[in-house]
Structure 1
Amino acid sequence: MTPSVKDMYDEQGYVIVPGLVTPEYFTLLGKACERVIAKTRSGVWPHRRTVGRQFPPYGNDNPDSWGVQHVMHPDLGEPVFAEWYTSDGLLAAARELLQCEEDELQMELLNLLINPLHHDFALRWHRDDVKEVATADEEVQALSAWKYGVQWNTALYEDCCLYIVPGSHRVPRTAEQRTLSTTQDPPKNPLDMPGAIQVTLQPGETVFYNSNLLHCATYDSKKPRCTLHACIGNVRGGSIRARNVLQHGLQWMTKDNFSSQLGERGRKMIQRLVAMQKGVEGQALGYSLNS
C-alpha cells in the first residue's frame, strides 16, 4: 500500500487493490463459493438476499437470490472464508486504510454476492448508513462520523455490477443527486446519476470503499457473479457502526462453535464485536446480535 493508494481512498472514497487473494486462496475460495451457492440455490442454506429486497430483513418470499449471507457460519463448513478474512494481506490493507493497529480491528461481515438465475435486478442509489430523506445538515454530520470502518468487494469472476459517485462520501448530495437517490426505484441507467462511474473488477481484484459513498448495483441474470462482500471495523469508533452491522443478525458469531474454528487473531476480533454489542445494549438502535 503506497501513500497514493491511501490518499486516493480518502479523496475519492474508493480504491482498487490487486493481489489480496493468493493463487492458493483463489482456488480454495472459488471451490467453497461453488458449494455455498449450490446450497443456497437448492434451499439448503436459508440465509440469502432475495430478489426484490434491498435491505434486511430479506425474507424468503422469492426463490431467486442475489446474495449469500454469513459465509463464515460454522454450519456451512467452509473455514477458508474466515481464514481469508483474517489473512495477513487483507488485514494489512484494512489497517492501512483505517490507520489503526491490528488490536483495534473488529470482525464484522463476510457475505457473497451472486447473480440471480431468473430475474435481472438492481439496487437503488443509497448510502449504507444515511437515510435517503436526510437533510443536507444531517448528511454532513453522518458522513463526518463514518470513518471507522471499510467495506470491500473481492471478485472471483469479472465484476461490472457496482456503480459509485467518487468523492460523495465527503459532501451532501446535490439537488439532482437527491432526486435520483430519494426514489425507491432502481435506476434505469445508473450513469444518469451526476458524477457516477462504473467499477470493473478483474478476477482477484478488490475494491475497498467507504459505504457511505453514493452507490448502487445491477445484477445480470445471464452473467455469473461471485464476489466476496465484506466489512471490518475500527474499535475507535465505539458504537458508530452498530446499527449498520448488527442488523444482519450475528448471534451465531458469539458461539463457541464459531470462535473455535478461528485462530487467535480471529478470536480477538470477534471479542471486539461482542464488546461493541454490549456497549450499545439498552440504546434505541433497533438491532442487536440477537436480531
Structure 2
Amino acid sequence: MSSPPLSYSYDTNGFVIIPSDTPLSLVPPTQLIPFRDACERVITKTRTGEWTRRRTVGKQFPPYDNDNPDSWGVQHLMHPDLGEALFAEWYCSERVLSVVKALLGCEETDLEMELFNLLINPLSHDFALRWHRDDVRETASEEEEVDALGKWHTGVQWNTALYRDECLFVVPGSHIVPRTPEQRALSSTLDPPTNPLDMPGAIQVILQPGDTVFYNSNILHCATYSSQAKRATLHACMGDAVRGGAVRARNILQHDLKWMQDEAFRETLPNDTARGTLDRLKRLQSEQGGAQVVYSLAG
C-alpha cells in the first residue's frame, strides 16, 4: 500500500517530516557540508557582533535586545550583506518550491517570498520558547481561536536540520481545533515549559541531519534550546500571495523586511522565479503599509 501524499499528512496532523534519504529531501547528504560551512560563517559574524540582526536569549518575539550577548537565531539569511548566495538559491529552488506548492495547493506564480532565518544554539544559556501559536494570542477566546485557525492555511513554515535537532515540540492536529482547558492553561502563561511533554497530546519532533519538518505555524508548539547541543537549522516560511493577503502580512512584516525592496537584493536572486516571489512580497508590503503585530516566526 502506498503512503498518503504529503498534503494529506500535513492537513491532518499539521506537520509532515521529509527525511534526508528520500527523493524529496531538501538537503541531501552530499549537500550538508556546503550548508554547514555557510551557516558557520554567518554564525561567527553574529556571535562576534559583525551581524546584528539576530534573536537574543530571553526574548521570544521581536524587537530583540542587541545588548544581550547570547543568541538563539540569525535573521535574514538572504540579505546581500551576508554574502551567502547559497541561501537564496536554495530557498527559491525547485526542490523547495515543489514541496511548498504541494502543501499549499497553489501554483508557482502564486508563491510569495517571506522569511528565511537560522536557528542556533545559545553559547551560555539554555533557553526555551513557551507554548504558542504564531498568529493567535494566548488570551484568545475559544471563538476567536476557531476563527483564526480557519484562516491560517495560506502559508507554510519549515525547519531543515543540518545537525541532529530535538528542539521542536508540537501537538498533532491542534492546527484545526481550539485548545482544551488544560492546553489553554499551559499555553496561557508567558513562562517556558518545565517539561514540554506535560502538554496533553505533545510529541517531540526529532530531526536527523538533512531532515525537514514542514508545519502549520498555528499548530500548538514550543521549542527548547540547549547550550550544549550544536544547532544550525534552516528556518523559513513561504505564502500564497493570492489567498494570503493581510493574514500573512501581520505575521511577517513585523520582521523589518524593508531591505528586500532594495534593487541590490533583487539582483542577487538566482532566476525569474525568485524575482517573482519577491515582487509579490513587495506588493504585499505596499498594500499593507508595513503592518505590525506582536507575533513571530519562532520554532
The bucket for the TM-score relative to the shorter chain is over 0.9
Of stretches 159-168 and 272-281 in structure 1, the one that deviates more from structure 2 is 272-281
CA contact 2:253–2:290 (8 Å) conserved in 1: no
Number of positions where the alignment pairs a residue of Structure 1 with one of Structure 2: 287
> Corresponding residue for 2:95?
89
Question: Could you report, residue by residue, the CA deviation over 1:24-50 in whole angstroms, capped at 9, with x for unpaired residues?
Answer: 542221111000000001111001100
User: What secondary structure sits across from 1:97 in the alignment?
Assistant: helix
Deviation at 1:239, TM superposition (A): 1.8
Residue 251 (structure 1) aligned to one of 251, 254, 258: 258
> Corresponding residue for 2:84?
78
Q: 1:220–1:151: structure 2 CA closer, same or farther, 3 Å change rule? A: same
Of stretches 140-149 and 19-28 in structure 1, the one that deviates more from structure 2 is 19-28
User: What secondary structure sits across from 2:246 in the alignment?
Assistant: coil
**1:237 and 2:244 matched:** yes
**1:46 and 2:52 matched:** yes
Question: Could you report, residue by residue, the CA deviation over 1:69-127 in whole angstroms, capped at 9, with x for unpaired residues?
Answer: 00110000001000000111110000000000000000000000000000000000000
Which amino acid is the alignment partner of residue 249 of structure 1?
A: D
> Corresponding residue for 2:285?
277
> Corresponding residue for 2:222?
216
Which amino acid is the alignment partner of residue 76 of structure 1?
A: L
TM-score normalized by the length of structure 1:
0.95
Runs of 5+ consecutive residues of structure 2 not aligned to the other structure? 20-24
Which amino acid is the alignment partner of residue 69 of structure 1?
A: Q
User: What secondary structure sits across from 1:241 in the alignment?
Assistant: helix
Of stretches 168-177 and 272-281 in structure 1, the one that deviates more from structure 2 is 272-281
Residue 100 (structure 1) aligned to one of 106, 130, 135: 106
Deviation at 1:280, TM superposition (A): 1.5
CA contact 2:6–2:102 (8 Å) conserved in 1: no
Of stretches 71-80 and 275-284 in structure 1, the one that deviates more from structure 2 is 275-284
Which amino acid is the alignment partner of residue 7 of structure 2?
A: K
Q: 1:186–1:172: structure 2 CA closer, same or farther, 3 Å change rule? A: same
Please give the alpha-carbon distance, in whole angstroms, between the structure 2 residues aligned to 1:265 and 1:4: 25
> Corresponding residue for 2:22?
none
User: What secondary structure sits across from 2:46 in the alignment?
Assistant: helix
Q: 1:45–1:238: structure 2 CA closer, same or farther, 3 Å change rule? A: same
Runs of 5+ consecutive residues of structure 1 not aligned to the other structure? none
Which amino acid is the alignment partner of residue 171 of structure 1?
A: V
Q: 1:122–1:2: structure 2 CA closer, same or farther, 3 Å change rule? A: same
**1:11 and 2:12 matched:** yes
CA contact 2:132–2:138 (8 Å) conserved in 1: yes
CA contact 1:25–1:84 (8 Å) conserved in 2: no
Please give the alpha-carbon distance, in whole angstroms, between the structure 2 residues aligned to 1:241 and 1:30: 30
Q: 1:285–1:211: structure 2 CA closer, same or farther, 3 Å change rule? A: closer
Alignment of 1:259-274 (within 5 A): 259-262=266-269, 263-274=271-282
TM-score normalized by the length of structure 2:
0.93
Percent identity of paired positions between Structure 1 and Structure 2: 62
CA contact 1:113–1:227 (8 Å) conserved in 2: yes
